[in-house]
Structure 1
Amino acid sequence: MDAAGTWTSPIKFKSRSLFHHRKSSQENLDRFIPNRSAMDFSYAHYMLTEGRKNKEEPVVTSPSKEAYRKKLAEAFNMNRTRILAFKNKPPQPVEAIPSDFFSPSPPQSKSSKPRRHIPQSSERTLDAPDIEDDFYLNLLDWGSSNVLCIALGNIVYLWNASDSSTAELVTVNEEEGPITSVSWAPDGRHLAVGLNNSIVQLWDSTTSKLLRVLRGGHRGRVGSLAWNNHILSTGGMEGRVVNNDVRIRSHIVETYRGHNQEVCGLKWSPSGQQLASGGNDNLVHIWDRSRASSNSPTRWLHRFEEHVAAVKALAWCPFQGNLLASGGGGSDQCIKFWNTHTGACLNTINTGSQVCALLWSKSERELLSSHGFTQNQLTLWKYPSMLKMAELNGHTSRVLHMAQSPDGCTVASAAADETLRFWNVFGTPEASKPSPKRNREPFADFNRIR
C-alpha cells in the first residue's frame, strides 16, 4: 500500500508473445495487462492477509483496529468464506436404482393376460377295459351334445359329461367286430361306427336305433371316419378314402385313391373344402372337393412324403384355415406343419417319441400332442415357437386317442393301459360366440331309405 492509501498488487503478470521475436537483450519483454475492472482487489488482499488466519487463535488488536476491521468486513460482505463459491446449493442426489430394475421378466402391463395355471394331473380317471391296443384305430370322440363315446372291444359306450351317466349304445357280434372307429356327426346326436368287416353303421344315440348300414366302399376294416356336414368320409385298410352322402340311397359319391396301405387318419378342414388323409404308407394327402367335378376327381391336391412312419395324428388349425399339423409314428416322432394352399412344409419338430394324436386349442395358439414310448405323456406346445408349456403324465402305456370337449377346455385321453383320463389343459371356458346355424337334421330320410 503506498502513501496515498492505494493498495498495489504484489503480483506482476508477464507474458511472452508467441509471434514476437526478441531482437536484443536490451529490449523489454511484452507485458500482458489483464482487465482488472472485474477484480475485487480489496477483498482479495483481505483474504490473503487476514482471512486465512485461524479464527480460533486469539488475536490481540487495538480497539480502533478491530473497529476498522469490522467495518471493512461489513463493507466487503465477509460472511463469504471463499473467493470462488457456489451461489446455489448442489442438487440432491438421485434416488438409487430399484433392486428389481434388472429383473429378467419385466412387469406385466394391464392389458397382458396372466399366466394360465395348467394342472399337471388328470381331474378324473375312468376304466376303459378291453380297449384295443392298436395304433391305427380311432376309438374315441366327443360330440357337440357333450357326450363322449368310446369303443371297447365289440361295445360302444356313451358317457354324458353333463351328469356323468354311462350307457351302452351297441354291441356287435364277433363276425362284425371288433369296432375299429367311431365319429360323431356335427349334430351331436348321430354316431358313425366303423367295423372290422368293412361296413359302417349309423346310429341314433337318443333312441339307440340303428338307422343305416353303409356297404361296398371297402374291402377291409374301416379304421378312420370324418364328417363334413352330410358327407361321411371313411378310410379303409386297402388304402381308399370314400365320401358317402348319407342323404341318398347310392351313398358313395367320391372315391380317393392315393394310399397303398391302410388309411389311419382323416380330418376335414374347418371350411369343409379340404380333406387330409394319413396312412400306414407314411404319406399325407390333401384332397380338394372343388376338383371333384373335373375329369380326375380322385387326384390329390398335395402329397406330402416327408414322414418316415405311419401318419395317424392330423389336426387342422382353428385360427388359420390352411394350416395342418401332422404327427408321425415310432420311427418318425415328428410333428410337421403344412401350408395346404402352397404345399410347403412350414416347420418340423422332433418330439422324441411316437405321435399318436394332435389337438389344437380353440382359444389359444397352442397344440396338444399325445405320445407313446418312453413317457406315454401329453405335451402342450406354444405355437409357432413350439416351446413346451407343460407335460402331463399319468398314463402308463401309449396314449392312442384324444378328444376335445365342445367348449374346447377339457381333453379326454384313452391309452393302452385301459384308462380314460380327463385333463383341464386348455383353461376355463370363455363366453362363447353364437355358432352359425347348420343343418341339424342330415338324417331326415334315414327311415325311408333304409
Structure 2
Amino acid sequence: MDWSSSNVLALALQNTVYLWDASNGSASELVTVDDENGPVTSVSWAADGQYIAIGLNSSDVQLWDSTANRLLRTLRGGHQSRVGSLDWKNHILTTGGMDGQIINNDVRVHSHIVATFRGHRQEVCGLKWSTSGQQLASGGNDNLLYIWDRSMASMHSRSQWLHRLEDHTAAVKALAWCPFQRNLLASGGGGSDCCIKFWNTHTGACLNSVDTGSQVCALLWNKNERELLSSHGFMQNQLTLWMYPSMVKTAELTGHTSRVLFMAQSPDGRTVATAAGDETLKFWNAFGMPEVKKAAPKAEHPGPFPHIRRIHSFQEWENWQWSKNRLR
C-alpha cells in the first residue's frame, strides 16, 4: 500500500492493484497480473504521483503510468526471487529482494541496473531513502539494519555500507526518516525484539531504544509535529502515538484484529491509512489539527476527507464505491 502526492491510494490485493482517489472517492483497477508473475509483493509511487512501481513475486518490477493506465516497461534480471520492498529517489527506483540484494535502477535507460548494494543475508523487508537522497536505510529478515551512502554504491563492490547495525534481535521491516532532524532514523524490530530504535546515521550511534511490548510493523513521523506513529502486531494489533524525543505515549488506537502490516500517510500528512492481516483497511485522523489530534477516540473524527468513513473493510469499500460485482 502507498499513498501518492496526487492523493491516490494504491492497494495491492493478491494479483491486482487498485487505485482509490481520496479527493473524490472514485476507485479503479490498475492491473491484474497473471499467476505466473503474481502475487503483487510491493507498490511504490514516484514523487510526481503519476508513475507507480509494482514489485512481483516473479522477481520482475513493472512501471505504470497511472494517468494513462499504461504499462511503461518491465525491469528484469536484477533479482532472483520476489521483490518485497521499493523506494524512489528521483529517477532511481531502488528494489529490495528476497535474495538479499538491493538494486538501484535508472528507469530512464535501457540498461537500468546502475548500482547494487550487497550485505543482507536474507530478504530485504524494509527500504527507505533519506529526504536528502544521500543515504539509504535497509532492514532485513536477518535482523540487520544497514545505512548505505549513495556515493559508495557500485556494480561490483560486495561490502560498501556506511554502517552495519546489529542491535535488533528480530526482522527490521519498519523504517522512517525524521522530517525535521537530518540524519535521524527510526527503526522497528519484529516479534522477538519489539523495540523502536533511533539512530544518528552520520555516526551510526543508537540514540535511544524503547521497548514497545509488541511487534513493530511500520513507523510514520508526523510531518507537522514532533510525533511518531507505530503500528503493531500481537497482542493488541494497535497503533501507538508517541511524543518525540520523550517517547511518552499520547494515544493508543485499537480496532484491527490482526497485525497492522502497512501504514500510508495522506499528502497533507493528517490522515493515516492502515492495512492489516484481518483483511480490513482503516483510516485514522492520527495527525489532525493540534486542537483535535489528541481527541479520543481518534478514529471517529471525520478527518480532512469528510467522505471517508471511520472504518472500511474491503467488503464495505466494495459496496460503497465499486461498480464491479466483486473484488478479485
- Aligned-residue Cα RMSD (Å) equals 1.5
Any stretches of 5+ residues in structure 2 without a counterpart? 291-328
Deviation (angstroms), 1:291: 2.2
Q: Distance in 1 between matches of 2:196 and 2:153?
A: 30
From 270, 288, 299, give the equivalent of 1:409. 270
Q: Is 1:320 equivalent to 2:181 in the alignment?
A: yes
Deviation (angstroms), 1:208: 0.8
Query: Percent of counterpart pairs with the same letter?
Result: 76
Q: Is 1:381 equivalent to 2:242 in the alignment?
A: yes
Q: Distance in 2 between matches of 1:196 and 1:203?
A: 17
CA-to-partner distance for each residue in 1:11-67, whole Å, 9 max, x for gaps? xxxxxxxxxxxxxxxxxxxxxxxxxxxxxxxxxxxxxxxxxxxxxxxxxxxxxxxxx
Q: Distance in 2 between matches of 1:310 and 1:300?
A: 19
Q: What TM-score, normalized to structure 1?
A: 0.63
- Asked whether the 8 Å contact 2:125–2:140 carries over to 1, the reply is yes
Deviation (angstroms), 1:321: 1.6
From 325, 329, 338, give the equivalent of 2:190. 329
Instruction: Report which of the two structures shows the higher radius of gyration computed on alpha carbons.
Output: 1
- Asked whether the 8 Å contact 2:116–2:154 carries over to 1, the reply is no
Q: Distance in 2 between matches of 1:271 and 1:234?
A: 18
Q: Distance in 1 between matches of 2:86 and 2:58?
A: 15
Q: Distance in 2 between matches of 1:387 and 1:298?
A: 38
- Asked whether the 8 Å contact 1:292–1:298 carries over to 2, the reply is no
From 195, 210, 232, give the equivalent of 2:71. 210
Any stretches of 5+ residues in structure 1 without a counterpart? 1-139, 430-450
Q: 1:348 — aligned with what? A: 209
Deviation (angstroms), 1:292: 3.4
Matched pairs, number: 291
Structure richer in strand, relative to its length: 2
The residue type paired with residue 328 of structure 1 is G
Q: Distance in 1 between matches of 2:52 and 2:15?
A: 15
Deviation (angstroms), 1:298: 5.0
Q: 1:89 — aligned with what? A: none
Stretches of 4+ aligned residues off by more than 3 angstroms: 292-298
The residue type paired with residue 187 of structure 1 is D
- Structure 1 residue matching 2:115: 3-state secondary structure: strand
The residue type paired with residue 302 of structure 1 is H
Q: Is 1:291 equivalent to 2:152 in the alignment?
A: yes
Deviation (angstroms), 1:170: 0.3
Q: Is 1:266 equivalent to 2:127 in the alignment?
A: yes
Q: Distance in 2 between matches of 1:427 and 1:207?
A: 33
From 112, 115, 124, give the equivalent of 1:251. 112
Q: What TM-score, normalized to structure 2?
A: 0.87
Q: Is 1:229 equivalent to 2:98 in the alignment?
A: no
Deviation (angstroms), 1:427: 1.1
Greater length-normalized contact order (CA 8 Å, ≥ 6 residues apart): 1
From 268, 273, 277, give the equivalent of 2:138. 277
- Asked whether the 8 Å contact 2:116–2:155 carries over to 1, the reply is no
Q: 2:4 — aligned with what? A: 143
- Structure 1 residue matching 2:256: 3-state secondary structure: coil
Q: 1:420 — aligned with what? A: 281
